[in-house]
């Protein structure tokens, strides 16, 4: 094998000796980590095989959906077990479907703590478990659908775990956890949702009565953690959507200054139909905070009848006397078997007040009969309707929620689960390919050193490998620090935030104590956000300008929530990739300037511009806020820290402002760092 490669090795030696070019007088290119990448692809059979496998994985991933990248759940999370001393404590979660049904699949959706979208880890997902089904509640004749008890299950992150059942019939489905998550003396497990689908694709578990879910124990903490939330149909994944994007947000009643205003919407299905399930999809305008259903009714009734007068209505859900929890962007799923009906009405008796106006909105209403949405295209009658785009009463039955087209839930979850497996395989294959290329490079460089026979070439090769090793060590150190910060400090801060929310639910009516608890939660959440930024900076060792600009836009959207803003960047003028110190100083200055504009200036509009020349990078932020006197405002608004950050970078910061005239901040720093 080695003798067959000698001609190629000799050719490589000639290439290396000439610097890769035959042009006289051209400077020798500087070494790069992928120096032998092209040659390894040509000459190494294992490298070519790994590259082909990665290409196939990329093609498959391009056809699969992505999980949502923002909060979608409302005030509830899911099921949380009690804490145990030992991780080996076995715990069970049983779901009674009410009758024996052919089961197509069982899907476990991880729990996610609201406000941790940037955190890719699931919360408390069981480390080892199996999924079983049986016709008997005693599970005497048990069929194991899937078993993951031999080794710790990889963290699924944002993705569901789909278990195929193959159509076997059963009434009871059980999750048996044999190894808990957590830490010493604080072991538990948590899931967001356990969904059981029939062979026809319909959910058999959504909307089951509270008594149908029977866990070994339960850490009940309403409204975050309850056993009934295991089958309520609400999860961190939200609703199943696909291309194309939605042409409208849905229906919105005309906002009213009368806070006692009511609203209703009625669908005509065209003929009496036996209904299996009703889904109410909350509206979610793009400018509205994620994780909260926009203008979802506080109290309402869902009823049906065979006549449009609703003389003898059949009630699917009545929440007239108690507030209904906001479902986030999840649909409210109602599974009730009633005699056939033709008309369906949602009657809101108490509306939320948004910006001093009583408002009511829904994105879509779906009515299912035998697995088919019979409300698609149905005629809509409403109490009132805001028909200014992107709102329309007709959008209630167009098959879209506020974001995109609604698709089959079971297939969507199965595709997300497949994506999870493929991404794990992709990471493993990338690691293998990196090792193969490194082995090839080491073998080639060793051969070149032997053929050269010159001490100078050997010394140069040694210097090069040492330099690469130092760079790898530095990158590994950054990644290790980022991982430790995320896993330890980030996890602790997230737990503090969650515990403060739990404490607030049960705290005595002591204003000072409740204010202290709220302050603890706020500080923890702010620290989690700062930690996310720091981890991002450390991990992105060679971030491209496109990734960096995308992060700036996300940061602006977060800090300027509720404030109109514009962002422009001369992307082609920015260096690619951006040096680490430049990214760090610019990103932290960017956050500080926007924070001042939003919190101190009271700006109503912010304009952001990022440009560069051959030497310097310039960030300009203009706002129409309260303004200040730059000669007097030396403390309290972040000016000294901005000046210090610019000085440390070898740059300058300029302030143009006057009381009542807004402010313009120019942050000018050299691209190559301080001279």
Instruction: Give the pLDDT mean for 478-500.
Output: 60
Q: Each residue of 16-69: pLDDT tens digit? A: 333 333 333 344 433 444 678 888 888 889 999 999 999 999 999 999 998 877
Burial (CB < 10 A; 0-12, 13-18, 19+), residue 145, is buried
CB-CB contact of 264 with 238 (8 Å) = no
Residue 637 pLDDT exceeds 70: no
Q: What is the mean pLDDT of residues 7-12?
A: 39
| C-alpha to C-alpha distance for 309 and 306, rounded to whole angstroms | 9
Lowest mean pLDDT segment, chosen from 135-144, 308-317, 527-536, 644-653: 527-536
Q: Pick the residue with more confidence: 148 or 450?
A: 148
Instruction: Determine the pLDDT at residue 4.
Output: 38
74-106 burial by CB neighbour count: b if 16+ within 10 A, else e?
A: bebbbbbbeebeebebebbbbbbbeeebebbbb
Tell me if 156 sits within 8 A of 123, measured CB to CB: no
Confidence of residue 478 (pLDDT cuts 50, 70, 90): low
pLDDT beyond 50 at 3: no
| Rounded Cα distance, 228 and 214, in Å | 9
CA 91 to chain centre: 29
Contacts of 182 (CB under 8 A, 6+ apart): 83, 87, 124, 188
Q: Which residue has the higher pLDDT, 531 or 218?
A: 218
Mean pLDDT of the chain: 83
pLDDT at position 161 is 96
What mean pLDDT comes out for the span 539-544? 58
Helix ranges (H only) for 540-649 are 545-559, 580-599, 639-648
CA–CA gap between residue 114 and residue 77 (Å, rounded): 8
Q: What average pLDDT score do residues 638-653 get?
A: 82
Query: Distances in Å between the alpha carbon of 568 and those of 139, 620, 654?
Result: 62, 10, 20
SS3 587: helix
Per-residue pLDDT reduced to its tens digit, 218-231: 997 878 898 888 99
Residue 576's pLDDT is what?
75
Residue 172 in tokens = 């009871």
How far is Cα 535 from Cα 557, in angstroms, rounded to an integer?
Answer: 19
For the segment 431-448, the average pLDDT, to the nearest whole number, is 87
The pLDDT, as a whole number, for residue 504 is: 63
pLDDT band, residue 145 (cuts 50/70/90): very high
pLDDT score of 307 = 95
- Percent of the chain whose pLDDT exceeds 70: 80
pLDDT score recorded for residue 38: 83
What is the pLDDT confidence band of residue 248, given thresholds at 50, 70 and 90? Answer: very high
pLDDT at 488: 56
Report the greatest alpha carbon distance in the chain: 99
CA angle 66, 69, 75 (to 5 degrees): 120
pLDDT above 50: residue 102: yes
Residue of 497 and 565 predicted with greater confidence: 565
For the chain, which domains are there?
Answer: 79-231 (2.60.120.260), 245-406 (2.60.120.260), 545-670 (3.30.565.10)
Q: What is the mean pLDDT of residues 124-152?
A: 94
Beta strands per DSSP E along 474-535: none
* Confidence at residue 32, expressed as pLDDT on a 0 to 100 scale: 40
* Residue 91, pLDDT above cutoff 80: yes
pLDDT at 163 over 80: yes
Span between the terminal Cα atoms of the chain, in Å: 52
The mean per-residue pLDDT over the stretch 475-479 comes to 61
pTM of the model: 0.59
The per-residue pLDDT for 661 is 87
Instruction: Kindly report which listed range (136-140, 261-265, 612-616) carries the lowest average pLDDT score.
Output: 612-616
Compute φ and ψ for 10, nearest 5 degrees.
-65, -40
Task: Identify the pLDDT of residue 612.
Answer: 87
What's the rounded Cα separation, in Å, for the pair 304 and 316? 8
Residue 545 in this model has a pLDDT that exceeds 90: no
C-alpha span between 599 and 558 (Å, rounded): 13
- pLDDT value for 588: 85
Q: Which of 198-212, 247-261, 632-646 has the lowest mean pLDDT?
A: 632-646
pLDDT digits (tens, 9 = 90+) for 332-382: 988 877 789 999 999 999 999 999 999 999 999 999 998 899 999 999 999
Half-sphere exposure of 664 (CA within 13 A, CB side): 7
d(CA 482, CA 465): 25
pLDDT in tens, 116-137: 555 678 999 999 999 999 999 9
Ranges 151-160, 200-209, 477-486: which has the least confidence: 477-486
What is the predicted pLDDT for the residue at 499? 63
Q: Cα-flanking dihedrals φ and ψ of residue 317, to 5°?
A: -155, 135
Q: How far apart are CA 486 and CA 481, in angstroms?
A: 8
Structure tokens at 156: 């699924």
Higher pLDDT, 226 or 546: 226
Write the pLDDT tens digit of every residue in 568-614.
988 888 887 777 777 888 888 888 888 888 888 888 899 999 998 88
Residue 396 corresponds to which tokens in the numbers above?
A: 């209630």
The confidence score (pLDDT) of residue 630 equals 80
DSSP-assigned letters across all residues of 603-615: -S-EEEEEEE-SS
pLDDT score at 6: 39
pLDDT at site 646:
83
């Amino acid at each position: 094998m080695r003798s067959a490669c000698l001609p190629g090795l000799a050719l490589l030696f000639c290439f290396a000796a000439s610097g890769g070019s035959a042009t006289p007088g051209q400077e020798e290119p500087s070494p790069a980590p992928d120096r032998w990448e092209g040659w390894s692809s040509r000459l190494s059979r294992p490298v070519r095989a790994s590259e082909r496998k990665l290409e196939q994985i990329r093609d498959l991933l391009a056809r699969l959906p992505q999980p949502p990248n923002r909060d979608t759940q409302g005030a509830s999370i899911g099921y949380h077990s009690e804490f145990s001393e030992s991780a080996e404590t076995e715990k069970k979660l049983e779901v009674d479907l009410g009758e024996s049904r052919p089961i197509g699949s069982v899907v476990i959706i991880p729990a996610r703590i609201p406000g941790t979208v940037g955190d890719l880890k699931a919360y408390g997902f069981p480390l080892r478990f199996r999924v079983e089904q049986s016709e008997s509640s005693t599970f005497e004749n048990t069929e194991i659908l899937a078993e993951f008890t031999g080794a710790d299950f990889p963290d699924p992150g944002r993705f569901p775990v789909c278990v195929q059942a193959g159509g076997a019939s059963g009434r009871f489905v059980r999750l048996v956890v044999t190894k808990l998550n957590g830490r010493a003396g604080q072991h538990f497990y948590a899931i967001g949702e356990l969904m059981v689908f029939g062979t026809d694709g319909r959910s058999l578990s959504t909307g089951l009565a509270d008594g149908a879910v029977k866990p070994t124990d339960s850490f009940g903490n309403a409204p975050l953690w309850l056993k009934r939330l295991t089958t309520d149909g609400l999860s961190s994944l939200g609703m199943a959507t696909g291309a194309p994007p939605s042409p409208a947000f849905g229906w919105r009643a005309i906002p009213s200054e009368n806070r006692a205003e009511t609203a209703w919407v009625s669908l005509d299905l065209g003929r009496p139909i036996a209904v299996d399930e009703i889904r109410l999809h909350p509206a979610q305008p793009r400018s509205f905070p994620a994780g909260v259903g926009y203008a979802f009714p506080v109290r309402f009734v869902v009823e049906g009848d065979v006549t449009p007068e609703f003389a003898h209505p059949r009630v699917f859900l009545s929440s007239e006397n108690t507030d209904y929890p906001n479902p986030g962007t999840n649909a409210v799923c109602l599974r009730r078997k009633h005699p056939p009906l033709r008309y369906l009405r949602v009657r809101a008796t108490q509306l939320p007040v948004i910006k001093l106006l009583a408002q009511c909105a829904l994105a879509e209403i779906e009515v299912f009969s035998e697995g088919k949405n019979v409300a698609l295209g149905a005629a809509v009658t409403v109490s009132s309707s805001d028909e200014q785009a992107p709102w329309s009463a007709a959008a209630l039955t167009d098959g879209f929620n506020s974001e995109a087209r609604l698709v089959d839930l079971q297939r969507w979850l199965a595709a997300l689960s497949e994506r999870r497996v493929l991404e794990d395989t992709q990471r493993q294959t990338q690691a293998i390919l990196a090792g193969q290329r490194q082995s090839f490079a080491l073998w080639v460089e060793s051969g070149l050193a032997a053929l050269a026979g010159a001490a100078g070439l050997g010394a140069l090769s040694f210097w090069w490998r040492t330099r690469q090793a130092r760079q790898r060590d530095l990158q590994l150190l950054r990644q290790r620090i980022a991982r430790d910060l995320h896993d330890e400090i980030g996890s602790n801060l997230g737990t503090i935030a969650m515990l403060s929310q739990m404490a607030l639910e049960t705290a005595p009516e002591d204003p000072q104590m409740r204010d202290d608890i709220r302050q603890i939660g706020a500080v923890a959440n702010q620290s989690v956000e700062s930690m996310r930024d720091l981890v991002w900076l450390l991990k992105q060792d060679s971030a491209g300008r496109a990734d960096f600009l995308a992060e700036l836009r996300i940061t602006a959207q977060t800090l300027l929530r509720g404030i109109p803003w514009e962002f422009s960047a001369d992307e082609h003028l920015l260096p690619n990739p951006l040096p680490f110190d430049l990214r760090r100083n610019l990103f932290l200055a960017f956050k500080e300037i926007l924070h001042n504009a939003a919190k101190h200036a009271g700006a109503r509009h912010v304009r952001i511009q990022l440009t560069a020349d051959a030497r310097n990078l310039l960030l300009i932020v203009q706002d129409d806020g309260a303004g200040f006197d730059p000669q007097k405002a030396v403390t309290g608004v972040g000016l000294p820290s901005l000046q210090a950050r610019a000085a440390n970078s070898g740059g300058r910061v300029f302030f143009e402002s006057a009381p009542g005239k807004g402010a313009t901040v120019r942050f000018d720093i050299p691209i190559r760092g301080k001279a």
